[in-house]
Chains A and B, each alone.
Chain A
């Protein structure tokens, strides 16, 4: 269902970082078009 879908992954410094989310999503067959980690403090 997710295979080939495009996704933007935004992670959080004190939570799950962007690269980790991207790796999980790519493993599930999604195409990560942009990923970043943000800091909300």
Chain B
């Protein structure tokens, strides 16, 4: 990679984030489904600690996620956030929204092209019909839903009530079980919701999108090609992007920033004019730390599917852009320690632009909500990352040791993202970064994401990538 480069900016037109509140799907998260099978007494405890949609909406970190509160303002809100709910909070934000479970079920049935989803007729008319705006849903009487459930379909619940069934796509293919297909379809519809909402917000037609890149955390495929991919094209179709094709970018939690770099490169090279980068929610990560939350008497905070969409196009003077020439990757030769990651993804990225660590106004790192991670012993992930960057700045003589806390406070932020893997990995801050740049509150932000490649048991390596966002001077 070239050590010196000329300024190359690709425009960021906008971003939209969505949280889909799915308390009755938490049981199908990877961890809960395993633990509930092993210990059935956990199920009533889990159900007892699930939140209502209004509680999820009034949860301060979620209000930051959808843009109604800034990350800086979050530090003024009393903790625990799950108890100190915000009065009058709304589910529509400056650049995002919260969607309830009834609407998700409606989206699932509309997006289903293979007769996988069946909803109970009476429940649908009472609760979900108001959301329907697509093809007629598959509706059946409760007795038929129950029969499907008893034959092995996955139950879709609303509280204690069985309201639908999700059937497998194949009798024997482990890649097409009902559990896997629900995960995949949930990723598709939540990503499509974010992209459709962003197009509406920007006043763009879906037909103006040339290419869609999905960095969702799923493995769409069949037994001969697990993870075969291209959920992106299914999302493009769902949103009505008739002129677009698509493809996926996978890199564990680092996927979104790689996808942004790929998308920006397609525009910079002239291959595409307008690219959407999207991700749907990760059903597998629902309730990942539910046992710790139960032990502490907390609500189950991992009850939302996180999704987002970004639209990239040619840079416009004075508007936010991704500095493609700042893009940095974590090379194979680099070590996997946090310091080596910070050197590769922060120091070297900035050095390419002639900048130092102390020249960055805001760092977006892994912004996991500490209220979710600390009770399980996973620590405050953003703070750990910020301290590593601050320590590196001390080692390089850019700040003094007693300025580390100030570095963390002024250039960092509290974590506010649900533990959805790809969602907290820096990309979650882009909406606030665009606002802060346009309002001249900051002049730049460095986005850093990391991917835990070692989890797949193919390498011991970690991974990551980064880029700078600033106003275009083009």
- A contact set with B: CB distance below 8 Å: 13-20, 36-41
Contacts and interface: CB of A to CB of B under 8 A. Distances in A.
Contact of A19 (B377, B384, B450, B460): B460
Given A14-B381, A14-B384, A37 B338 contact: no
B378 A13 contact: no
A39 B381 contact: no
A18 B457 CA distance: 13
B462 A41 contact: no
Contacts of A13: 450, 452, 454, 462
B424 interface: yes
Contact of A37 (B368, B377, B378, B452): B452
B454 A14 contact: no
A36 to B, nearest CB: 7
Contacts of A20: 335-337
B381 A37 contact: no
Nearest to B384: A14
Contacts of B454: 13, 17-18, 36-37, 39
A18 B455 contact: no
Given A17-B454, A18-B454, A39-B452, 19 more contacts: A13-B452, A13-B454, A14-B366, A14-B379, A14-B384, A17-B460, A19-B460, A20-B336, A20-B337, A36-B454, A37-B336, A37-B454, A37-B462, A39-B454, A40-B377, A41-B366, A41-B381, A41-B419, A41-B424
A38 B384 CA distance: 16
A10 B368 CA distance: 22
Contact of A41 (B335, B337, B373, B460): B373
Given A18-B460, A19-B336, A19-B460, A38 B455 contact: yes
Q: How large is the interface on B (under 10, 10 to 19, 20 to 34, 35 or more residues)?
A: 20 to 34
A17 B452 contact: no
Interface string B368-390: 10000100111101001100000
A35 to B, nearest CB: 8
Nearest to A40: B378
Contacts of A37: 336, 452, 454, 460, 462
Contacts of A18: 454, 460
Contacts of A40: 373, 376-378
A39 B419 CA distance: 12
A28 to B, nearest CB: 19
A14 to B, nearest CB: 5
B336 A17 contact: yes
Interface in B422-474: 424, 450, 452, 454-455, 460, 462
A20 B341 CA distance: 14
Interface string B20-55: 000000000000000000000000000000000000
Counting chain B CB atoms within 10 Å of each CB, which of A18, A39, A41 scores highest? A41
Contacts of B379: 14
A19 B454 CA distance: 11
Contact of A14 (B335, B338, B376, B424): B338
26 contacts: A13-B452, A13-B454, A14-B366, A14-B379, A14-B381, A14-B384, A15-B338, A16-B337, A17-B337, A17-B462, A18-B454, A19-B336, A20-B335, A36-B454, A37-B452, A37-B454, A37-B460, A40-B373, A40-B376, A40-B378, A41-B366, A41-B368, A41-B373, A41-B378, A41-B419, A41-B421
Contacts of B378: 40-41
A17 B338 CA distance: 9
Closest 6 CB pairs of A and B: A39-B452, A40-B378, A17-B336, A37-B454, A41-B368, A14-B384
A23 to B, nearest CB: 11
Contacts of B424: 41
Contacts of A19: 336, 460
A8 B373 CA distance: 25
A14 B385 CA distance: 8
Nearest to B377: A40
Contacts of B385: 14
Contacts of B366: 14, 41
A20 B460 CA distance: 11
Nearest to A13: B452
Contacts of B381: 14, 41
Contacts of B373: 40-41
B455 A39 contact: yes
Interface string B181-206: 00000000000000000000000000
B302 to A, nearest CB: 11
A32 B368 CA distance: 32
Nearest to A19: B460
A41 to B, nearest CB: 5
